[in-house]
Amino acid sequence: MAMVLGKVALVTGAAAGIGRATAQKFAEEGAKVVVSDIDQPGGEETVSLIKNHGRDAVFVRADVSRPEDVERLIDETVRSYGRLDCACNNAGIEGKIAPLADQTTENFDAILGVNLRGTFLCLRAEIRQMLRNRGGAIVNLASVAGLVGFPGLSPYTASKHAVNGLTKNAALEYGKLGIRVNSVCPGGIDTRMLDSLAEQSTGGAQSTREMMDPLHPIGRIGTPEEVAELIVWLCSDRAGFMSGANVPVDGGFVAQ
């Protein structure tokens, strides 16, 4: 039986990468999906990919760092499908690589604005709606950079550690009210973000795979689909005793 049959799922940052794969997996497993991103063409393409398989999805453009956009996103979700059962707060940016003393205030504010403020705003709005439903499940996208440090990525690392903290607090505050909250912490995943980090790190001297594959004990980076499998499972009733967890999906990276 499909994992989330009949549920309504929201995925932010769903124009590409992990977000797109997650939206597709939710639809494959029986959910009606609200696809959201600031990238309207990419988001609409995700919806088309879902509809091409005979499944149900709509696109809502939103900047998760803007409270009014997030509130409208939840309103549009309920207007489209009547409720909200599952949410994946995936929208995030990596910013510029530099040692902490060389980081700009603008880069720090931009990263925290999307990765932390955006996750907070989405969590707040989603929880308020799920309380009306008397339950739900939320997965936040953190990172292995939310579990260990990464030289050159201090704002990103700080944002993802904070996402893991928000996850734990939300799980503690709303567990008895029927809302489960977890985070996933991907390692290197084959996405545009990873390509950007590899390009910044090597100046194009190495491909993403050449740089990143050897860093993972399993011998390769992961795929967006592998992360999506975990996210949708965490939102399903099969994960009913999972809450407050920061779950690595990283090919053994943080076990080193």
* pLDDT tens readout for residues 34-56: 999 999 999 999 999 999 999 99
**Same domain, yes or no: 197 and 244:** no
Number of domains in the chain: 2
Whether 123 is covered by a domain: the verdict is yes
* pLDDT grade for 205, boundaries at 50, 70 and 90: confident
Is 1 contained in some domain?
A: no
pLDDT of residue 199: 84
Helices 224-235 & 17-28 angle (0-180, nearest 10): 50
Residues 164 and 102 in one domain: yes
Whether residue 204 sits in one domain with residue 136: no
Report whether pLDDT(1) > 80.
no
145 and 196, same structural domain?
no
Residue 130: half-sphere exposure toward Cβ, Cα within 13 Å: 26
128 and 206 share one domain: no
Claim to verify: residue 201 and residue 143 sit in the same structural domain: no
Strands 86-89 and 179-186: unpaired
Q: What is the CATH number of the domain that holds 60?
A: 3.40.50.720
pLDDT tens digit string along 118-173?
A: 999 999 999 999 999 999 999 999 999 999 999 999 999 999 999 999 999 999 99
DSSP state of 154: H
Mean predicted lDDT score pLDDT of the chain: 96
Whether 174 is a known active-site residue: answer no
**Catalytic annotation, pick one of 26, 108, 156, 174:** 156
- 105 with 217, same domain: the answer is no
User: Residue 210 and residue 213: Cα distance in Å, rounded?
Assistant: 6
Residue-wise pLDDT for 215-240, tens only, equals 999 999 999 999 999 999 999 999 99
The whole-model pTM stands at: 0.96
Identify whether residues 103 and 145 lie together within a single domain: yes
Instruction: Confirm if 222 and 187 have CB atoms less than 8 A apart.
Output: yes
Q: Which domain holds residue 199?
A: 191-221
Same structural domain, 158 and 215: no
pLDDT band at 195 (very low <50, low <70, confident <90, very high): confident
Residue pLDDT, tens place only, 61-95: 999 999 999 999 999 999 999 999 999 999 999 89
Query: 123 and 233 share a domain?
Result: yes
